[in-house]
Structure 1
Amino acid sequence: MNQEIINLYDDYTHTPLSRGEFIRRLVLITGSLTAAMAILPSIEVNAANMKMTSDEDLFTERISYPGVPGKMDAYVARPKEEKKYPAIIVIHENRGLNAHIEDVARRAAKEGFLAIAPNALSAIGANPANEDEARQKFQELKAEDSLKNFMNAFDYLGTRKDFNGNAGCVGFCWGGGMSNSLAVKLPGLKAAVAFYGRQPAAEEVSSIKAAVQLHYAGLDERVNAGIPAYEEALKKNNVTYELYMYEGVNHAFHNDTAPTRYNEAAAKLAWQRSIAFFKKYVK
């Protein structure tokens, strides 16, 4: 796939770029509206591309907990055996909770964790019909409210009989930034894993008590620009961290519903590293 097209789609999904303008620019790259429409299905995310993780040996449920301004809805998955488990908060991209993120939660559950995947958009009563609407609704979220709502997920975990008191988080894109923010704000957090996510301000890093694991895509210039300052601050403040760069892959390389950006080898390796990290620090 032409990298210019992938970069355009990345701009479309992360900046206030209208669909009309996105299509106009795509036509300029491909040469015609017909060509643009033909290539569109191979660019956009589609849950049909996903290899779904079975929930056959899992306990799953949908729950809600207090949020601002409204309640937060979430998907929960864990092994069927009724006992206490370490928990992982799974944080979605800028589309809200979808089939892909629920699948990631099941993957974590298969590894012996109590996984909870909250939906940031539920706090404003949003239930978008498609990806474009979801991205538009994200502009209505207040950053301070979203942070509070994901912090509240840890308070909710404390009310569950199947939680052992140890928790970590993993986030992707928007969720990667949230994962980094939770590491700053929650001193009791055991581990935070961020996939191609926004970095916290350097002066905030001294508050991090969790072990941090960071996954970045080599072609993701937008996010990668913040790496040097973050890594310097992590070292300066003696934060336990691991940083991995996956060369030649794009932002969202872990998302198997995004055909042009998904990279199976990098995704599997990054997930294996994430699970090993959680098993080491979240027990």
Structure 2
Amino acid sequence: MTDNRPEIPQEAFDWYDDYAHGGMDRRTFMKKLTGLVALGYSMSVLTGALLPNYALAEQVSFNDSDIYATYETFDSPDGHEKGRGYLVKPTAGNGPFPVVLVVHENRGLNPYIKDVARRLAKAGFMAFAPDALFPVGGYPGNDDQGRELQRGLDRQKIEQDFLAAARFLKAHPLSNGKLGAVGFCFGGYIVNFLAAVDSALLSAGVPFYGTPAAKSLRANITAPLMIQLGELDERVNKTYPEYEQDLKKAGVDYIIHRYDNAKHGFHNDSTARYDQANAELAWQRTLDFFSQHLQTA
């Protein structure tokens, strides 16, 4: 896929990151963008580049003959009682399959994350992408609304929902018992959390630009981790020096990849933050990492 979207000043991406993570309201964000209009940018170009266009994110069609997708529910007694997610498996073979939990950003199960699940199934894994917004009706089709809905939910119950989803997937009749997890932004945090809260749960974790789990939990981590960071993502990157020391102290098998000139969200191909070369490299590394750690003998 060729990326022909316009070059946008880095400060605009920083504002969007602040806005997307609750540090700035929409009115302030739009006011700041208006200031760039005086420099020659049109508002439509700015918002078109910064806000997602999910038509750009479909790399694997929902009706691709190599995959089969359904929606599955699971019990979450310590969370919101019930959860629901998008389950995608390869059509080749009857299993068991290596399984991967896919964890969305802070706005629910949007089309980009569903496509990531399909990409994994296309590569031979069974993938499950839960929707944290299921208790309030599911992803609403709009990221702004999704972000507000997720912000209104109890954070600890969301964490328990993803923990229940991970256990559901690992125990699935088509699972080979080896569970991986990949997540983006908030989802990257959840991958770190899952590795820390239950040391026997994951066989491999790949957090993309997600903050670490609570310091009190980090000594529990035993799963191998591949951490994917963008060089320009100052907000997340500043949390990693201490986390890396804790991983070393716990003897965790980990590797950190920092991608040159990559922004927060560089894997998300629905926005101008997307960095095709780095995203493709990071994704191939992710697939190779899961292939290494999730296959049975």
TM-score range, shorter chain: over 0.9
User: Once the 2 structures are TM-superposed, how far is the Cα of residue 197 of structure 1 from its aligned partner?
Assistant: 0.2
- Return the alpha-carbon distance in structure 2 between the equivalents of residues 31 and 186 of structure 1: 52
Q: Which residue of 2 aligns with 1:63?
A: 72
1:43 matched to 2:37: no
1:17 matched to 2:24: yes
5+ long unaligned stretches in structure 2 = 1-7
User: Once the 2 structures are TM-superposed, how far is the Cα of residue 64 of structure 1 from its aligned partner?
Assistant: 1.0
Aligned partner letter, 2:65: E
1:202 matched to 2:211: no
Q: Which residue of 2 aligns with 1:226?
A: 239
Between Structure 1 and Structure 2, how many residues are aligned?
282
Q: Which residue of 2 aligns with 1:76?
A: 87
User: Once the 2 structures are TM-superposed, how far is the Cα of residue 17 of structure 1 from its aligned partner?
Assistant: 2.7
**Segment of structure 1 superposing worse, 148-157 or 223-232:** 148-157
- Return the alpha-carbon distance in structure 1 between the equivalents of residues 285 and 11 of structure 2: 30
Q: 1:213 to 1:155 in 2, by over 3 A?
A: same
Aligned partner letter, 2:28: E
Q: 1:255 to 1:158 in 2, by over 3 A?
A: closer
- Return the alpha-carbon distance in structure 1 between the equivalents of residues 181 and 263 of structure 2: 22
- 1:163-222 residue CA offsets vs partner (Å, 9 max, x unmatched): 111101000000000000000012221011100001123342210011111000000000
Structure 1 contact 70–122 (Cα < 8 Å) conserved: no
Structure 1 contact 100–255 (Cα < 8 Å) conserved: yes
Q: Which residue of 2 aligns with 1:104?
A: 116
Aligned partner letter, 1:12: Y
1:246 matched to 2:259: yes
- Return the alpha-carbon distance in structure 1 between the equivalents of residues 71 and 60 of structure 2: 17
- Return the alpha-carbon distance in structure 2 between the equivalents of residues 125 and 103 of structure 1: 20
**Segment of structure 1 superposing worse, 174-183 or 30-39:** 30-39
> How do residues 116-135 of structure 1 correspond to structure 2 at under 5 angstroms?
116-135=128-147
* TM-score computed with the length of structure 1 as normaliser: 0.94
Q: 2:59 aligns with which of 52, 56, 61?
A: 52
Q: In structure 1, the residue corresponding to 2:42 is in which secondary structure?
A: helix
1:27 matched to 2:34: yes
Q: In structure 1, the residue corresponding to 2:278 is in which secondary structure?
A: helix
User: Once the 2 structures are TM-superposed, how far is the Cα of residue 158 of structure 1 from its aligned partner?
Assistant: 4.9
- Return the alpha-carbon distance in structure 2 between the equivalents of residues 200 and 59 of structure 1: 33
Root mean square deviation of aligned Cα: 1.7
> How do residues 173-192 of structure 1 correspond to structure 2 at under 5 angstroms?
173-188=185-200, 189-192=202-205
- Return the alpha-carbon distance in structure 2 between the equivalents of residues 128 and 59 of structure 1: 23
